[in-house]
Structure 1
């Protein structure tokens, strides 16, 4: 039974349609992002999906995360895809027979009973687990939800902060563009240019059977993605720095890594444990993020190419995601808000939602996957960050546009950031989930300047709900 009846809400149509999407994409133990384009379980999708499900069916939200964590490897990694064995191999590429996780990943402790990929995605899971618990603490406590997921989430964090600190500077590296979640971002063009692609005749892209080619990565990009994944697989998914041809410190991934330590601190406290270790780690990660990836001239956090030893001067929405963190210097917050509102992202001026990539960049494309379109999960995070730092007017406007764009686009995978035109597939699960989450919590009234409100609210528990 639903936790809330929204039938009399002004947003009842949007709410009920979003609920319909999540109902239709539920696969029995987890939720597929899309019935056609993505017919398995994806890692960070499930985290956002749980955040929405908690308002409807808290037990289902718990199961969403538990199913994903059941596929965790012994080294702590949470794979970015958990494959459903009942889905034909031809339904998605790369399929389980490409990854060969249970054999090629044996040394890293890949599970034997389920096939997964060997890559990871951004760590939103601790935040999702904490918010899911708070939605129904009684059921969570009765089932031992936090007690069971906490050690798994800690192992996931330690994998990223230890095995993936390839630059030795206290930040996690991604070893494939797919690990950023922002798969086809122009930020990866320069490091990818070093990769010899496999020929397009060597694989069949199932994504093009379900989506417009103009919305998707090119065959050249895919050829490089496949080459990188093959190399990682053929090295047994080993994380020694010499095995990798691509290693990048991404600000979005590392901001979420720091946010996860705050969430783990909250979970530890709820379990009667000392949260101080998590809070120290969160502070260390935030300090390293600012020291290593902040660029004063850009007014944005930039990715760092670990192999080339240089910053990547491409401007993506990932560089705004550290707004979700408490403890950023005031001047950094001011600069990030100015950049979000400025010509590169146009928030509140030329765009309805934050684009995934710089509007003024030579590679900007409002239709093509992560090269310009606006994504609902990214904008949910940015809305949360703006609200955390007291930018309530801007956050409220973004929230309203996010909800209206989701509904008008048919819960699209992503949209044109200016017009809101639907791109990618429709009935997309995390679009529906974040819509449910925003509709469930009315926005706070805005008064005073952003920095003033931020200082007033510093004693609000982190992560706030």
Structure 2
């Protein structure tokens, strides 16, 4: 291992060790003191280079809180953390009672929402890091039925548009909580009264970097309404088909096919589902004129006329038509995202009216989205851009103190520091270079 790689390895490992709780990894001990769903999947991808056993445990602990209907909750709460440390806390979600009809676990407090399905991809990569150790513990054999149930939930109860794609019912679910892409659908939502909830996030982050009170009030309203309906997936005021979520589902279906073959199940069902999802994405979300995948607002059944980084992440999907790959690459390197001029990928169109290089998901660059895009560029042989982005991710992560996100132009750290998935994914790219 080269000296530079050893340095990244050591500093990233220190973050992951510090954030480890004994059963899982917190994104941050201050701002995010519990276990988050897609965070844990990305963290496991990096942890496999430190300890395969710990990476397995990361996923096992998360899936241990899976609901009976198949959903993997977006937060699994640590009972040792007081309610006032984070909002919405367990006493808001009340999943052990309000979620009982949907199969919420009786002994574990969780949220009722979900996050993007990176889990099967993570499980496959963790397995490949040490197949013999994985086989000895029966890791894939235990993960496979849970992952099948998870994908079944997403493509079943969450096919709200009726065309095969999974839909999200809250801006927290696609993971890009505060994106301007959601402004249109959110405008339909009456915010919860300001005095009816508290904002623990402002105690740990600069208010200029965080969502506004108006947006936060709408988030609370949507979550409370979902809870009060017993987390039933029926009528939703907010329902959006997101290209990043569906692209990650396709990639995870490909991984699930590999897992199925490994455990003696039939991989064909997963290849077929991946193909159907890909076709549905191209049909419903691809905008050839703009060269990007759009989010689709299911309520009026129309594409949302905004460019977010989620629309570039389908580069991760195998087998896209050549013209789609060329269109995505042109958009990524063109005036709206400017890869090559800026080291990382902004989370929102830099020419867009709502662009803000500092505010949460409204412009700053994130390391997990860049990791996905780097993997997609490499898959399609766009190696010069992939190599440059890989170097920028690793350098930007280290230079920012493994920040949650950064200014896309200056690389200045934003959000919390010592962020676990930043460390994990920088480690993964540094080690596998």
TM (norm. structure 2) is: 0.99
CA distance in 2, matches of 1:338, 1:320: 10
Any stretches of 5+ residues in structure 2 without a counterpart?
none
- Match status 1:160 vs 2:154: yes
CA distance in 1, matches of 2:404, 2:146: 29
Structure 2 partner of 1:93: 87
Structure 2 partner of 1:347: 339
CA distance in 2, matches of 1:430, 1:28: 17
CA distance in 1, matches of 2:338, 2:425: 22
CA distance in 2, matches of 1:440, 1:400: 12
Shift in Å at residue 441 of structure 1? 0.8
Shift in Å at residue 269 of structure 1? 1.1
CA distance in 1, matches of 2:199, 2:361: 18
Write the deviation string for residues 75-113 of structure 1: whole angstroms up to 9, x where unpaired.
000000000000000000000000000000000000011
Structure 2 partner of 1:263: 255
Shift in Å at residue 192 of structure 1? 0.3
CA distance in 1, matches of 2:335, 2:192: 37
- Match status 1:102 vs 2:96: yes
Select which of 362, 387, 391 maps to 1:400: 391
Select which of 19, 22, 27 maps to 1:25: 19
Secondary structure at the aligned position of 1:179 is classed as coil
Structure 2 partner of 1:170: 164
- Match status 1:16 vs 2:7: no
Structure 1 partner of 2:371: 380
Write the deviation string for residues 401-423 of structure 1: whole angstroms up to 9, x where unpaired.
11000000000000011111100
Shift in Å at residue 247 of structure 1? 0.3
CA distance in 2, matches of 1:15, 1:129: 21
CA distance in 2, matches of 1:238, 1:309: 21
- Match status 1:227 vs 2:217: no
CA distance in 2, matches of 1:253, 1:194: 22
- Match status 1:423 vs 2:414: yes
Shift in Å at residue 12 of structure 1? 2.3
CA distance in 2, matches of 1:273, 1:108: 27
Secondary structure at the aligned position of 2:220 is classed as helix
Question: How many equivalent residue pairs?
Answer: 433
User: Is the contact between residue 24 and residue 35 of structure 2 (CA under 8 Å) also seen in structure 1?
Assistant: yes
Write the deviation string for residues 289-315 of structure 1: whole angstroms up to 9, x where unpaired.
001100011100000100022110010
Structure 1 partner of 2:278: 286
CA distance in 1, matches of 2:237, 2:321: 34
Query: Which aligned pairs between 1:346-365 and structure 2 lie closer than 5 A?
Result: 346-349=338-341, 351-365=342-356
Write the deviation string for residues 98-149 of structure 1: whole angstroms up to 9, x where unpaired.
0000000000000011000000000000000000001111111111000000
Shift in Å at residue 203 of structure 1? 1.4
CA distance in 2, matches of 1:277, 1:435: 33
- Match status 1:254 vs 2:246: yes
Query: Which aligned pairs between 1:132-143 and structure 2 lie closer than 5 A?
Result: 132-143=126-137
Structure 1 partner of 2:181: 187
CA distance in 1, matches of 2:261, 2:300: 41
Select which of 101, 112, 117 maps to 2:111: 117
Shift in Å at residue 45 of structure 1? 0.0
CA distance in 2, matches of 1:184, 1:96: 22
Secondary structure at the aligned position of 1:163 is classed as coil
Secondary structure at the aligned position of 1:223 is classed as helix
Shift in Å at residue 327 of structure 1? 1.1
Q: Where has structure 1 moved over 6 Å in runs of 4 or more?
A: none
- Match status 1:434 vs 2:425: yes
CA distance in 2, matches of 1:215, 1:27: 27
**CA RMSD across the alignment:** 0.7
User: Is the contact between residue 5 and residue 431 of structure 2 (CA under 8 Å) also seen in structure 1?
Assistant: no
Write the deviation string for residues 328-382 of structure 1: whole angstroms up to 9, x where unpaired.
0000000000000001100012x11011000000000000000000000000000
CA distance in 2, matches of 1:376, 1:200: 32
Write the deviation string for residues 147-169 of structure 1: whole angstroms up to 9, x where unpaired.
00000000000000010000001
CA distance in 2, matches of 1:202, 1:11: 49
Shift in Å at residue 274 of structure 1? 2.1
Q: Decide which moves more: 304-313 or 33-42.
A: 304-313
Structure 1 partner of 2:43: 49
User: Is the contact between residue 16 and residue 423 of structure 2 (CA under 8 Å) also seen in structure 1?
Assistant: yes
